[in-house]
Structure 1
């Protein structure tokens, strides 16, 4: 009897579908489409799509190019499927203020509690008094 149980377990393990456990080598995904344009003044745009469903496009613009405060601003979108099958899509802006993604899959902070908001308003309405500092000379 024990032999039959062990044999049944061995057959079940051998016949099990493990394709969902083994990840395919996504580093070898073929590039289906790729476009890239660059202007001499620094503006650019690109778009690509891979065989495993990743789609991305972006456009970069140099802001204030003639000044000391020149900055590159990049706007783009990315679309792909997460390992669990969830479709992921987000837009982003990257500029002097950092990388700012916007997507429904990204976490959202909880709202600030009413007590905290009232406390912050009280602090703003009642600033601390300014105390003059007197320096002693020796």
Structure 2
């Protein structure tokens, strides 16, 4: 029952897009064109929404038994899309499971490449592993 309430609250919060576009003229009053929610009795769910100004999102999730744990973990997969104030279309997809939240999107920062000298050093270490010394 608690899981159902949490899922419904997440779906409701996700469908309220006024906080994303509240500063732009008329965007705060965008109407919801489509909204769906399906909750199963065993904890699985899926929802989707779309507004008249192009904001959309969907998510699905279900509990899954995790090896080495007595409690199931909620496995979630979803995506959302909106247009940023500068006109850039932001598209985010994600997976959340026992390994944490894993977002993907062209707008997300990425780590810099590993410097060439470090790559050469790592390759050298791999090719010439340290020998154990005996005292």
Instruction: Please give the range of the TM-score, normalised by the shorter of the 2 chains.
Output: 0.5 to 0.7
Q: Does 1:88 align with 2:70?
A: no
Q: Distance in 2 between matches of 1:80 and 1:69?
A: 35
Question: Unmatched 5+ residue regions in structure 1?
Answer: 1-21, 132-138
Cα distance per residue 1:40-88 (max 9 Å; x no partner):
11110000012221100111021118x6141111111111111111112
Which residue in 2 is equivalent to 1:53?
Answer: 54
Question: Unmatched 5+ residue regions in structure 2?
Answer: 1-22
Q: Distance in 2 between matches of 1:130 and 1:35?
A: 65
Q: Which residue, 67, 77, 84 being the options, matches 2:79?
A: 77
The offset of 1:130, in angstroms, is 8.4
Q: Distance in 1 between matches of 2:36 and 2:105?
A: 24
Q: Which is bigger in relative contact order (C-alpha 8 A, separation at least 6)?
A: 2
The offset of 1:122, in angstroms, is 4.7
Q: Greater CA radius of gyration, 1 or 2?
A: 1
Which residue in 2 is equivalent to 1:110?
Answer: 112
SS at match of 2:122: helix
Task: Name segments (4+ residues, structure 1) moved above 4 Å.
Answer: 121-131
Q: TM-score, normalised by structure 1?
A: 0.65
Q: Distance in 2 between matches of 1:130 and 1:91?
A: 50
Which residue in 1 is equivalent to 2:70?
Answer: 68
CA 1:108–1:72 in structure 2 vs 1: closer, same or farther (change >3 Å)?
Answer: same
Matches within 5 A, 1:1-138: 23-24=24-25, 26-64=27-65, 68-122=70-124, 125-127=128-130
What is the aligned residue count?
110
